[in-house]
Amino acid sequence: MANVMEIYQLLPKTNCKECGKTTCMAFAVDLLGRKVKVDDCPPLVNEAKYKANYETLLEMFGSVKDVTETGLIVHNEKCIGCGNCVVACPVNVANDPFGAGSGKAPTSDKVIFKVEDGVVKARNVQECRRFGENKILCVACIDTCPTKAIEFV
Amino acid sequence: MTGEYYVCTGCALLCDDIEVETEDRKLSKVHAACLKGVARMKGCSDPLECTVDGEKADIDSAITKAAAILRNAKNPLIFGHGNSSSEAQKISIGLAKKTGAYIDDTSSFCQGPIVEAILQDKLRTCTLDDVRHKADVIIFWGADPSNSHPRHLSRYSYFPRGKERQRGWEEDRTAITIDIRKSSTAKICRDTRFYQIPMSADAEFMDAIVSGLSGKIPKTSFDFDKKRILELANVMKKAKFGVICVGLGLVYSLEELEPLFKLMEKLNEVSNFYLIPMVGQYNMRGFNQNLFAETGFINRVKFNSETGNANHGAENSVVEALKNKSVDAALIIGSDPLSSLPLSVARYLTEIPLITIDPCQNLTATRSTVTIPCALGGVEAGGTAVRMDGVEIELKKIVESDNLSDKEILTRIMEAI
Amino acid sequence: MGFGQFLAAPEIKLKIVTYRDVFQNTAQESSRFGEEYEKLSAVIKLDLKDISKLTIKEGDTVIVKNGFGKVVVKAQKSGYEEAHPGIAYMVNSPWSNVLVPDETGGSGVPKFKNFEVTVQGAKGEKVTGIRAL
């Protein structure tokens, strides 16, 4: 992942405040923390001269829609659909012991991970152990991924 | 979703928990299969056309021409079979017998020696279901299932819960990778469980493990950390149910299987170990078993056209037969030797009458006298296939196709000869 | 215009190990004649030291050849933590098979995962297309 300076260099650096932040640097910091989206910077989206930078940033941050409430991101382009996360996720095991927990296709609607068209899809993220009051830093899905396709931000 | 489970024919894991959605005789969505399985099941973007001498033809004239080529050949070669149902393979074997052909498959230059040793009871094997329920030590040797068989670890070998493996992989299972490079699979097995050895050093490393298992100091010419080999030997010794998943990296590195036999023998003296070949194509093992049942050999057979007797030997392998230019026509089924064999060997195919049966356009097809498109196995045609561990799996047809199955095409060629 | 074009590109001897890649395999299932398959197949993965010996940059094309054939493919960094000078990786493909020796000693099994080649910068020559192999 890029650092804040690299992101800043790709922004308009005009401190126009259209995004609601006081400076482009502040926007860069929030972008890195994924509190804002690339599209929240109007000049970047609308002005032709920033087109290349806009596209680079979009590539860096993937499609921000995919960031779930727990900060879970699946990098679709890296995922091989092996299902390691599907089977290793403790929540999947608990909610679907004879399907996902036993290595097979999930048979319950309560699973967090499910492979569709060869790529893993995250859902029911509120069930993730990183969420809620007693949250813990579970890494089962990250550690078992052979291509580092899963990330928490 | 149909609520019905189908089998993925993307590799010899033959995952049988696949749900699909269909639209207009195509799969619009595939559930639970891995990336390459989905690509297989959804079909290719450049289907094969029915042609004779490069011109579009109808199926009847293509079959007539194919039959004529085989009839006129003295020593035809029938090759492929890894992506065919067992039913098609059996007809292909009959066709080879009738035409006095060389018959071979991919196993001839990949997992053949291992499958042969298993069928001859020289290596102890088990099923993947046994692995899921029982295995506590899993060794990927020269194998990178994360690339070759993506669901191997999640369905069977590392992550799933099984009858005797209820506490999860962290506690219940130890996965070890032995390879010459840090593969994707090695990365998940963590650094302490990755043994990086030099090229072609597998036999020597096996001997070192045997020494370790025998309480001797494990020496290697490449000075591998003795402590680590002893650690490995110890983990293997303590295994309740160990399995070695043999990849192509290991098969290609061994000049002969003796070191592997010795290792397995020693392991079963002091521990409990099984072995499974990481077979690539979905029904390669089926071909090996079907030919074995018919002739006593798993591959590399030349039939005598008069007596029907099967001669077996390296000289009848697809590679040697092409190198020696001892074949005068070839029928290729579900395979692309011009892609998958050394070009220096396969190039000879372009000099002889060539027939390709495949769902998709490939390099061999572009050089063929006759090309006949067939239905995609496990999607457009049913049948049976044999998983890498020897378990027979039923394939169901999912969608209709205008193409005949390879079984039907081979039957019609046989009738026309 | 550099100076380099007037100098003979340095040539080095390497051992090739072939391997499987799930993305390349997926591309193959979709189309052997597609751009994606070429992009993921016609590649050689080199050690950093060998890249500098060749005086090329990552992404440049290189000529890989031996007594059995010749292909032009893209050079990439291998990305392995352990250095492996003298050894390069190619995904198992029609491009690697141009270079696999036909020598088998009568065994019927070519050395797909261990053979020698020479590599040299291709000075911008295009990657060999699958139909030109």
- Which domains are present in chain A? 4-61 (1.10.15.40), 72-152 (3.30.70)
Q: What is the ipTM of this complex?
A: 0.94
User: CB–CB of B36 and C100 under 8 A?
Assistant: no
* Of the candidates C58, C72, C77, C84, the residue with the CA atom closest to the CA atom of residue C119: C72
Average pLDDT score, chain B: 97
| Chain C CB contacts of A80 below 8 Å | 22-23
pLDDT for the residue numbered C1: 47
Question: What is the CATH number assigned to the segment(s) B112-277?
Answer: 3.40.228.10
Taking every pair of Cα atoms in chain A, the longest distance, rounded to a whole number of angstroms, is 57
CB contact under 8 A, C131 and B40: no
Cα–Cα distance between B215 and B210 in angstroms, integer? 9
Phi, psi for residue B80 in degrees, rounded to 5: 130, -120
Alpha helices in B254-312 (DSSP H): 258-270, 284-295
CA–CA distance, B298 with A114 (Å, rounded to integer): 39
The third-level CATH classification (topology) of the domain covering B46-109+282-377+404-416 is: Rossmann fold (3.40.50)
Check CB contact under 8 Å for B31 and A105.
Answer: yes
Q: What is the pLDDT of residues A127-153, one digit of tens each?
A: 899 887 788 889 999 999 999 999 887
pLDDT at B346 over 60: yes
Q: How many percent of chain B have pLDDT more than 70?
A: 100
- Chains touching chain B through at least 3 C-beta pairs below 8 angstroms are A, C
C-alpha span between A123 and A111 (Å, rounded): 7
CA distance C23 to chain A (A): 8
Residue of B nearest to A79 (CA): B35
CB of A24 within 8 A of CB of A57? no
DSSP E strand stretches across C35-133: 43-46, 61-66, 69-77, 87-91, 115-121
Q: How far is C40 from chain A (nearest CA, A)?
A: 14
pLDDT at A31 over 90: no
Q: Per DSSP, what are the bridge partners of residue B18? A: B6
A146 CB near a chain C CB, below 8 Å?
A: no
Residue A136 tokens, joined: 């813990």
Chain A, nearest residue to B155 by Cα: A103
Mean pLDDT of the residues in chain C: 94
Structure confidence at residue C3 (pLDDT): 56
Domain positions in chain B are: 46-109+282-377+404-416, 112-277
pLDDT digits (tens, 9 = 90+) for B20-77: 999 999 999 999 999 999 999 999 999 999 999 999 999 999 999 999 999 999 999 9
**How much is the pLDDT for B3?**
77
pTM: 0.90
Under the banding of pLDDT at 50, 70 and 90, the label for residue C4 is: low
Buried b (16+ CB within 10 A) or exposed e, B194-216: bbebeeebbbbbbbbbbbbbeee
Residues of chain B that touch chain A, judged by Cβ-Cβ distance less than 8 Å: 5, 17-19, 29-39, 132, 146-147, 150-151, 153-156, 158-162, 168-169, 184-185, 187-188
Q: What percent of chain B has pLDDT over 90?
A: 98
Q: What is the pLDDT of residues A60-119, one digit of tens each?
A: 775 545 566 677 889 999 999 999 999 999 999 999 999 999 999 999 999 999 999 999
- Residues composing chain C: 133
Average pLDDT score over residue span B5-22: 98
pLDDT one-digit tens code per residue, C76-88: 999 998 999 999 9
Question: Please, is A143 exposed, middle or buried when counting C-beta atoms within 10 Å of its C-beta (0-12, 13-18, 19+)?
Answer: middle
* Span B172-220, pLDDT tens digits: 999 999 999 999 999 998 778 999 999 999 999 999 999 999 999 999 9
B344 to chain C, any CB pair closer than 8 A? The answer is yes
Whole-number pLDDT of residue A125: 86
From CA B161, how far away is CA B164, in angstroms rounded?
8
Kindly list the residues from chain C whose CB atom is less than 8 angstroms away from the CB atom of residue A118: 26
Mean local confidence (pLDDT), C40-55? 97
Average pLDDT of C106-127? 96
Q: Which chain B residue shows the shortest CA-CA distance from A145? A: B188
Quickly tell me which residue has 């032995």 as its tokens: B178
Structure tokens at B198: 């030099």
CA distances, B340 to each of A46, B5, B102, B240, C96 (Å): 50, 32, 19, 39, 9
pLDDT at A67: 62
Nearest chain B Cα distance for residue C123, angstroms: 25
Q: Are B227 and B119 in contact (CB under 8 A)?
A: no
- Closest chain A CA to residue C25: A80
Strands B329-333 and B76-80 come out as parallel
Look at B365 and A40; give whichever has higher pLDDT. B365
Between CA B30 and CA B39 the distance in angstroms is: 9
Q: Measure the CA–CA gap between A95 and A108, rounded to whole angstroms.
A: 7
Q: Which residue in the block uniquely carries the two structure tokens 């020269």? A: B142
pLDDT greater than 70 at residue B372: yes
In DSSP terms, which residues pair with C71 in a beta bridge? C64
Please judge whether B319 and C110 are an interchain contact, meaning their C-beta atoms are less than 8 angstroms apart: yes
Chain C nearest-CA residue for B362: C32
Question: What Rg, from alpha-carbon coordinates, does chain B have?
Answer: 22
Around B132, how many Cα atoms within 13 Å sit in the side-chain half-sphere? 19
Dihedral sign computed on CA atoms, order A102, A103, A104, A107: positive
Structure tokens at C88: 């390069």
Per-residue confidence (pLDDT) for residue B2, from 0 to 100: 53
Domains and CATH numbers, chain C: 11-132 (2.40.40.20)
Report the pLDDT value the prediction gives residue A1, as an integer from 0 to 100: 56
**Of all helices (H) and strands (E), which one includes residue B322?**
helix B318-323
